[in-house]
Amino acid sequence: VYCCYGLARARYVLSRNALVVEWGGRREVIPMALIGEARAGADVEHALRPQGIAWPGCVVGRAGVPDFGEMEFLAAADQPGLVLVSRVRAGGWLAISPADPQAFLQAFDEFRAAGVEDQVEPESRRPGLEQWALWRDWAALGLIALGGVSVLALVGYLLAIFPQLPPVIALHFNAQSQPDRFGPPTGLFI
């Protein structure tokens, strides 16, 4: 859901003064003076892909890329549709996917040649959800996944035995272990 929200809000705005990247609740303003260079992803011989799971149309994450170093992906396209932007102050590279990478690179060169019109302050705003320590705690993420798998296994087991259950079963027991509420087997899912 969050990836879909991020894609729905994704946009890149390039001007003489700065590159503005928005993705979900995130906003990056990179002044033109702090951009080292911009390259087409199609011209890079190394695979450009973030670590972890990348959904089709949602290429978001980080990766170490040989000859480039740390690269952050806020894109909706694979390598041929990427533009790589070098960030001088923040370090590393940013991979984005404008609708037409070649037109973006041409506009970048034209804006760079024209020079900066107004000084813009750099900005990096991330939503609180992205900054939770939970996302870096593999043990906690594993336990959450284990809990989800357990629920799915229980529902699968109930679905497997559902046809064999009697029409009325005990759904609740009192403190003396005596059934005190009966109902149809669908009550087990509740």
pLDDT in tens, 140-185: 888 999 999 999 999 999 999 999 999 999 999 999 999 999 999 9
CA torsion 93→98→100→104, rounded to 10°? -60
- For residue 133, the SS3 value is helix
- For residue 129, the SS3 value is helix
Contact between 103 and 128 under an 8 Å Cβ cutoff? The reply is no
What's the average pLDDT block by block, 10 residues per block, for the chain (190 residues)?
Answer: 79 92 88 90 87 78 87 87 86 90 93 88 77 78 93 93 92 93 89
Mean residue pLDDT of the chain comes to 87
CA 149 to CA 187: how far, in whole Å? Answer: 21
CA 95 to CA 85: how far, in whole Å? Answer: 6
- Which tokens belong to 180? 């005190």
